[in-house]
Amino acid sequence: MKKLYIETMGCQMNKSDSERIAGILSHFDYVETDNEKEADLLIINTCSIRQLAADKAYSKLGVWGKRKKDRPEIKIAICGCVAQQDKEKIRIRAPYVDLIFGTHNIYELPSLIKSIQNNEKVCAITEKPVVCNQNDFKIIRKDSVNAWIPIIEGCNNFCTYCVVPFTRGRERSRRPEEIIQEAKNIIKEGFKEITILGQNVDSYGKDFKDENITLANLLRELNKLDGNFRIRFVTSYPSDITDDLINAVAECEKVCKYFHIPMQSGNSRILKEMNRRYTKDQYYEIVHKIRNRFENVTITSDFIAGFPSETQEEFMDTLKAIDELELDYSNTAAYSPREFTKAGKMVDKFISEDVKSKRLELLNEKNKEACLKSNKKFVGKTLKVLVESKTEKNGKTILNSRADNNKIVHFESDKNYIGDFCNVKITKAQTWCLYGQIIN
C-alpha cells in the first residue's frame, strides 16, 4: 500500500472534495496517513478566498519541494481553488509539482494518477466540470459522526470581491435522487448528522426546469428517511431564503433550526458596491421573519471589514447590525483583493492596511460580545445535543457536543456517548461555548 497525505484548506466544500479524492485514490492502493513525512503522494487542496490562504498553500508546496530533493520518487499534487485560478502559474512558482488539477477535474483522477505514475507532469484544468454520478465513486469520510453532501456547486452572483464564480464556475445542482441515495448510504454507515453543502445552497434546483426541485422540497424528502439523524444546510444567500424554505425547516423535525446567512456589510451602499442583491432593510426583514418563527434559533453571518471606499460611518453600520439583529456568531475578515474580481480593480478606493486592521479588531470585539450575549440566553435551558468527541482534562472525561442550533456544549461524563443524542441542561456560558450537565 502507498501512503497518501491530503492537506485541506478552506471551506466544508473543500473538505468534502478531499473525502472524495481519498476515496478515488483508494482504488489505486493509496491509504491515508496523518504523517506527511511518510507519504508517497502529497496533495494540498487549496482555498483562494483570501490572499493569505493562497500564500499558505505556496508555502506548503515549498516545504514539500525541499523534501522531494531527498526523496525524488514522491509525487506532489495541488488542487482546489488556487489550482483552478492560477493554472500554469504554479509551474513557474513550483516546477517540482507533478499534478495540478482544478475543482472541475476531481473525477478525472483515475487517468491523471496513471499519468504521474508514468512520470508525466500533468496540468488538468478545465472551465467545464467533468459530469458524473458521484455515487459511482467511493468516499472516505474521516469524521465518524458528521457527513457532508454537496448538492450544488458554483455561483452565479458575481459579488465584486469573490473568486468563487471563477474557481468553482456557475451553479450546478445534483439530481435529487442522487443526493437521497448518498444520504441513505451515510445513514446506513452510522453517521448521525448530514450537512448539505453549496456556495449558495438555497439556489439548489434553479438550473433544472422542474419547479418542484428546490432546497425546501429536498429537505422534506431527506426528512422522510428512516433513522436517528439530523440535517443541516449551508450556506444561504439572504434574498434566496423563501417562505417555503422557512416552512420546510419548521415542518421537518430532523432539520436543525440553524441558518448561516452572510450579510457582509451592514450598510446598503456598500452592499450595492459588493453587488449583493439585497439592502440592509431586506436582510433585517429576513432575520426577523426567521426569529419570529423559531424559538432558540441560531443565526450566524459573515462580515468584511474595510471593503474599498467604505467610510468609518458605514463600517459602524455593520457593528450596529450585529447588535440590532442579535446575531449569534459571525465569521469576520479584512477585505483581501482578489485577481479577476471587480473590487480587486478598485485600487484608487482601497482602504489602508492599518485602517482595515483596526476595523477588523473592532469587528472581532463586537462579535465576541454578541456570542457571549447569545450564549447567556441558554443558561438554565435544556438542549438536545449530538456528542462528537471527547477530551481528557485533569483526570475527567469531557464530552464535546453540538446542539441542534449549532451551539457547542461541553459536559462531563464517565460514559462514552460519542455518536449519541443526549439532553444537557446548560449551567454556564462562555464566549465560544456552553457547559452543562447530562440529564438523561
Report the CATH number at residue 391. Answer: 2.40.50
342 in the same domain as 230: yes
302 in the same domain as 269: yes
Phi, psi dihedral angles at 198 (to 5 degrees): -170, 145
CB atoms within 10 A of CB 81: 27
66 in the same domain as 118: yes
Whole-number Å distance between alpha carbons of 440 and 417: 11
The tens digit of pLDDT for each residue in 346-380 reads 999 999 999 999 999 999 999 999 999 999 999 99
Dump strand ranges (E) for 132-287.
Answer: 146-150, 152-153, 172-173, 193-197, 230-234, 258-260
Whole-number Å distance between alpha carbons of 302 and 367: 10
386 in the same domain as 372: no
Whole-number Å distance between alpha carbons of 422 and 433: 17
Whole-number Å distance between alpha carbons of 298 and 381: 15
In a domain, 241, yes or no: yes
Domain that holds residue 311: 134-376
Helix, strand, coil % (nearest 5) of the chain?
Answer: 40, 25, 40
Q: Sign of torsion, CA 157 160 164 166?
A: positive
396 in the same domain as 370: no
In a domain, 297, yes or no: yes
Asked whether 343 and 307 are in contact (CB, 8 A), the reply is yes
Domain end marker among 79, 105, 124? 124
418 in the same domain as 300: no
326 in the same domain as 198: yes
In a domain, 129, yes or no: no
In a domain, 368, yes or no: yes
The tens digit of pLDDT for each residue in 418-433 reads 999 999 999 999 999 9
* CATH number of the structural domain spanning residue 294: 3.80.30.20
Going residue by residue through the chain (440 aa), what tens digit of pLDDT does each one get? 899 999 999 999 999 999 999 999 999 999 999 999 999 999 999 999 989 999 999 999 999 999 999 999 999 999 999 999 998 899 999 999 999 999 999 999 999 999 999 999 999 998 888 777 777 788 999 888 999 999 999 999 999 999 999 999 999 999 999 999 999 999 999 999 999 999 999 999 999 989 899 999 999 999 999 999 999 999 999 999 999 999 999 999 999 999 999 999 999 999 999 999 999 999 999 999 999 999 999 999 999 999 999 999 999 999 999 999 999 999 999 999 998 899 999 999 999 999 999 999 999 999 999 999 999 999 999 999 999 999 998 889 999 999 999 999 999 999 999 999 999 999 999 999 999 999 96
372 in the same domain as 387: no
Whole-number Å distance between alpha carbons of 379 and 289: 25
322 in the same domain as 236: yes
Whole-number Å distance between alpha carbons of 146 and 231: 10
Tally of structural domains, the chain: 3
261 in the same domain as 205: yes
- Among candidate residues 286, 295, 432, the one with its CA nearest the CA of residue 372: 432
Can you give the pTM of this predicted structure? 0.93
CB atoms within 10 A of CB 352: 9
